[in-house]
Amino acid sequence: MGDNYRSDVYPVDCDLNGYAIWDFEVNTNQRSRWINLDILPDSLVRATSNIYLHDRSNDSLQNLRRISRYRYCSAADGGTRSFQLLVGTGELTVSQEISNGWNLISFPRNPLDPTTGRVIGDDITSIYYLYNYSNRAGYMFADSVQAGRGYWLGMNYDAELDVQGGTALEYRRALTPGWQLIGCPYDRPVAFNRAKFLSYGRWYSFAVAVQRGLIQDLLYGFTEGDGGYTDGDTLNPWRGYWISAGSLTVTMSIPPPEGVLPELDAIQPQAFIASSDNWKLEIFAALSNGYDDRLTRLGVEPDATNGFDSPYDCPEPPAPPGGNYVTAYFQHQGWSDLLDDRFNTDFRGALQNGETQTWDLTVETNSAGEVTLSWENLLATTPDYEFYLKDIMAGTEFSLYDAATYKYISDGICEFSIRTVAVSSGRRSGETLPGEFALRSIHPNPFNAATTITCDLPEAASVTLSAYDLGGREVAAIYNGKLTAGRQRILWDASGLSSGIYLVKLQSAGNIRTARVALVR
């Protein structure tokens, strides 16, 4: 039958907040003659839809709501001329402010002229760098752009990028094993879990694809400044993302924001609720003169193992192509043949009372600077466990409950271990009951937003813990309830209070203990 067709009908409504594009050609044996193209929309084309004709030979754009005939002169030897027909609503050209430095971006339209010089070079007059990525070659200069793909853009000045073009009715892309850069192919955000995946002739919903190890369930975006990588579950216009695929043959399909997916067998993901056999510890790494890493997590799940578990163990994305950065990861050789041996998430099976597990953590920087490791909300996310961080080179070890941060100077790779011990009913490993009722410590102090209050109870008791300003007015009811005997730690979130000195009061059965604390914004 050949490759040439005289009709091309889309099976769905293309009246999107964007433009559908038909590519077509006109071939003639008439030499140097005027050729007339008459474009006549039928009654099925909505009156609100815009219609444009793009002549790719001279890069002209005609509004067919204003004219119905387009004329051009054929070449001296006749031949073929290429056109694009665009139908849709909204603006044909969209734009976005991009900040200086390195940005992980995408384009919400398929450009009429996809060459990098035309899409970006007309908006940035200074030097810029645009990279795409492949697992075999790493970062490469991108000489053209496409909607739905991600790119690294580096430049020295803020700029407003614009792109003129159409939107896919349903975006499809073949994924290669390992890492790839993707983006939002539409003008509006799309939840990533609405995507579906084709493997060996069968379509799978997002949840089933994750369970089968076809893809990882997280997107990794990037925030310029000191933000670094962040994880998420939504594709936003103009943003680029890392995803990783674990199968040799996967095709991803992303429907438009208002589209409806066909019914597929789905496994609904379970919401995270912290418990003794289902918890997570988040470690944040910040470089004083570079990007942060806020992706590192360890924890336990009832059905996790000490090996590679596709639903839980996530690989660390490649480092940005430029700038100073810090990355924290767990190294596991042999976990996956298709991915790197660096993982930012390592979940294992639940521990029995008194059992110990150790995670080996590597923190790497590409420049010298002060690194700050921090952790938050231990009491809310890690019940019935004790944690100890050890700096292997320095030989120091301390409980994560006794400090909120750890700082050191790095100029490369530093090794740490995180040892955790399962305990029961608030009693820590090897701990004896305290001999007296005491408000032992408040750390950090001074603090910003949140601090941990440690108290000793010789026996189980009902306690109240409150905060007062210096005028004696109660400003926060921190805790009111029963606590078991032993050393207890209570997190106080004071984000709603202003800077100042406050008095913390612990009361139980006529016993009162107080301490001063400074909140600094």
How far CA 109 is from CA of 148, 233, 487, in Å, comes to: 8, 21, 58
Regions of the chain where pLDDT drops below 70: 1-18, 168, 225-227, 247, 258-276, 337-339, 377, 379-384, 424-432
Dist. CA 256–CA 243, nearest whole Å: 19
Number of Cβ atoms within 10 Å of the Cβ of 302: 9
β-partners of residue 12 are: none
Domain boundaries along the sequence of the chain:
19-88, 94-254, 279-422, 438-519
* pLDDT digit string, tens, across residues 383-439: 668 899 999 998 999 888 878 889 999 889 999 999 998 875 444 444 567 889 999
CATH of region 19-88, choose from 3.30.70.360, 1.10.10.10, 2.60.40.1180, 3.30.465.10 = 2.60.40.1180
pLDDT at position 143 is: 92
CATH topology identical between 19-88 and 438-519: yes
Dist. CA 237–CA 171, nearest whole Å: 14
DSSP string across 385-413: EEEEEEETTTTEEEETTS-SEEEEEESSE
Provide the residue type at 397 as one letter: E
Dist. CA 330–CA 299, nearest whole Å: 12
Dist. CA 176–CA 247, nearest whole Å: 8
* pLDDT digit string, tens, across residues 451-471: 888 888 888 889 999 999 999
First to last CA, the chain: 72
Dist. CA 327–CA 350, nearest whole Å: 27
Provide the residue type at 262 as one letter: P
pLDDT at position 11 is: 55
Provide the residue type at 484 as one letter: T
Q: Indicate the fold that domain 438-519 takes in CATH.
A: Immunoglobulin-like (2.60.40)
pTM for the whole structure? 0.67
pLDDT at position 274 is: 59
Dist. CA 48–CA 18, nearest whole Å: 13
Joined tokens for residue 395: 């030989």
